[in-house]
Structure 1
């Protein structure tokens, strides 16, 4: 098992000059450097961008639907990295309601797990192919109120790594916690991020950033 160090790649404009921030969380086998270029396809010109880097290119060792214990202590360490990053962003003057999260695959699972354990009014949450973590979801882990935060979850049906049942189960939990859910299922979509998903994210979250 492994611990994660706080290794953050930044892009966009400096946090002290930004009114909002985008936290981008990469998937298994990827890196922060490979995740950041995705922001160029989003209307995020006025945002500070932060991409944390996982040790060994993986946030936790096994599938997200295995018992949580099999992914410890890596999972707790990953959640702590995100927590510290969010505290730093808020400390720089950007409030939680102007922080946006975007994750893909394993990064989408980590994104959803963090925000649902720490539910509050965020700018928005984008989970490209992911769900909450654990063989069985433990409701005592999930606390707070999303305050009608818009949450986008996209996935393929079927997907080789993320069962649709878990996507829907996760969305139902977040909706009960006052999340404004958008769950989009694409028939036979490959395990990747498509142009349609990027367009949808821009429409839901970043359209106001155009031409600022």
Structure 2
């Protein structure tokens, strides 16, 4: 039985949308956190892009003494090999997959859908996109890492191997160290995915130069 779709902050263009960006937030944030960047991207109205910023469910987070907060998965330790709870990642990836399928059913082709994620949201994007059954327009993976990278080579599907994956990371990131993001980039590249890697002089956040680069990348992907 199909579960209820994730609630989202939805930002629509003036004309009927023919493309969609689904943007997943980080730990303890909500869909409202990244919604204000849409005007900052300064996308031309001719693109007619809908933005969806889903809210992750609330769950107890082990490293935060079991405090409940919005999260795509539990973090049981800060150990680099097992930071992301695989079962939680799989469950959230399934929920996001249903959200993408709903956009396809609404008339937006999968090739006009971009999956974006910051930090925890990026983990979900990097887990789902290589395993997704439909062709996507692109993937944005910001200040993030990969859950169980050793599984990718056996589980990856071919359909999105040439789909552009833009990875960006802050050189001074103390939450997700830059080497974790770079390791994910290398895993994708070794598995034949079309990933690019860019670092910025920033911490665990988004900077204006990065937003400008994301805007240019989105316009290239969705033109």
CA contact (8 A) 2:20 2:52 kept: yes
> 2:180 & 2:158 partners in 1: Cα distance?
21
Task: Tell me the residue number matched to 1:141.
Answer: 155
Asked if 1:193 is matched to 2:206, the reply is yes
TM-score by length of 1: 0.82
Aligned pairs, number: 204
CA contact (8 A) 1:145 1:177 kept: no
- Using a 3 Å threshold, how does the CA distance of structure 1 residues 165 and 137 change in structure 2: closer, same or farther? farther
CA contact (8 A) 1:108 1:128 kept: yes
Is the partner of 2:204 in helix, strand or coil?
Answer: coil
> 1:61 & 1:4 partners in 2: Cα distance?
21
> 1:193 & 1:168 partners in 2: Cα distance?
17
Task: Tell me the residue number matched to 1:182.
Answer: 196
- Using a 3 Å threshold, how does the CA distance of structure 1 residues 145 and 207 change in structure 2: closer, same or farther? closer
Task: Tell me the residue number matched to 1:41.
Answer: 40
> 2:221 & 2:93 partners in 1: Cα distance?
30
TM-score by length of 2: 0.78
Asked if 1:93 is matched to 2:107, the reply is yes
Which structure 1 residue ranges, 4+ long, deviate > 6 Å from structure 2?
none
1:22-101 to 2 correspondence within 5 Å? 22-42=21-41, 43=43, 45=45, 46-56=48-58, 57-62=70-75, 65-67=80-82, 71=85, 73-101=87-115
1:133-188 Cα offsets, whole Å, 9 max, x none, are 13x5313233233252221111123422323333223223333555332201235x
CA contact (8 A) 2:34 2:53 kept: yes
